[in-house]
Amino acid sequence: MHAQANPAVKVRKKRWNASRVTLFAMVIPFVILVFVFNYIPLFGWLYAFYDYKPGIPLSQTPFVGMKFFRLVLDDKDDLIRVLTNTLAMSFLSILASPLAVIFAILLNESKNKAFKKVVQTLTTLPNFISWIIVYSLASVIFSSGGLLNEILFKLHWIENATNVLGNQPATWWFQTAISVWKGLGFGSIIYLAAIAGIDPELYDAAKVDGAGRLQRIMAITVPGILPTFFVLTLLNIANILSSTSFEQNLVFYNSLVADKLETLDYFVYRTGIATGDVSFGTAVGIAKSIISIVLLFSINAVSKRVRGQSVF
């Protein structure tokens, strides 16, 4: 970094130690801050091995080893239900992920630059609003007294009001649609960046060879995006146990759709915080983290073998 040849550096050597100690001392408070908010919660994993009751310090609670992990497995009905929901919605969102690729290609093919910019700005807006706002908009449009019903009534397409937010069979699809609506515009940006990195000479050469527009997209753009898509899909698979965001679950939760909506994260929250079953909830959380880490590393190994390069 600093060239030793510089005479100024030699002069500084005398003050060096003092200055080094000062700098270090000025960084330590922030290191402690990081430790407190990011590392200390990890010690909370210990709660899973004790029979913790709120209000009693951990030092006085009985150590129970793997009891709660066994309980998690014993609680089969709940576990199967929330796992089914989690995996179903993850699977649907992975299935929907090519949409961002398609949207990026369409954006890239627009000849009018101003149009492209406007579309990009407007379609990224949903990414920057909170899930509470999303829920508010959804209830304005989809609830039984909402805009959708009003329009359908006017068109005489329906007799009775439908409440999409309470429609159990449609829950998985509806939640995936909402996630797509929120994330598609923003998700396509990374693909646009990947397209921008493709050598323009390839397109020129293809043109000379007489390739049409669709042929150029299929032969050059798609292969150019594929590595990025591959990596992101692998990461999605690694996150399969926490696909739909917890906040999304929390705001859209209601008794009508609970059986189809409740995912693993929500289950942890419900057992650990809402009912105060801290040890059990923590055990579920740990199991989830471990599975995610194992998935991530095995996927990385697969990717190394298949593509000769790791994901991270």
Binders of other proteins in range 6-65 (CB under 8 A)? 6, 8, 11-12, 16, 19-20, 22-24, 26-27, 30-31, 33-45, 47
Q: Which amino acid is at 309?
A: Q
Among 251, 257, 261, 299, binds other proteins (CB under 8 A): 251
Answer yes or no whether residue 178 interacts with other proteins by CB under 8 A: no
| Pattern 187-206, other proteins, x by CB under 8 A | --xx-xx-------------
Alpha helices, DSSP H only, in the chain?
7-34, 40-43, 67-74, 76-96, 98-109, 113-124, 131-142, 147-154, 171-196, 200-208, 213-216, 222-238, 246-252, 258-261, 264-269, 278-307
User: Residue 310, SS3?
Assistant: coil
Query: Judged by CB under 8 A, how many residues of this single chain contact other proteins?
Result: 89
CA dist., res. 178 & res. 197, Å (int): 30
Q: According to the binding rule CB under 8 A, does residue 155 interact with other proteins?
A: no
- Scanning 70-78, 198-206, 255-263, 282-290 for contacts with other proteins by CB under 8 A, the matching segment is 282-290
Q: How far is the CB of 240 from other proteins (least distance, A)?
A: 16
Q: Binding residue for other proteins (CB under 8 A) from 124, 144, 162, 236? A: 124
Q: How far is CA 285 from CA 43, 241, 282, 297, in A?
A: 13, 11, 5, 19
183 near other proteins, rule: CB under 8 A: no
The single residue among 246, 256, 258, 291 that binds other proteins, judged by CB under 8 A, is 246
Q: Which is nearer to other proteins, 172 or 252 (CB)?
A: 252
Q: Which of 80, 147, 218, 301 binds other proteins (CB under 8 A)?
A: 147
Cα separation, 305 vs 312, whole angstroms: 14
Using CB under 8 A as the binding rule, whether residue 121 contacts other proteins is answered as: yes
**Residues 49 and 66 sit within 8 Å (Cβ to Cβ):** yes
Instruction: Give the span between the Cα atoms of 214 and 7, in whole angstroms.
Output: 63
With CB under 8 A as the contact rule, the residue among 70, 73, 115, 218 that binds other proteins is 115
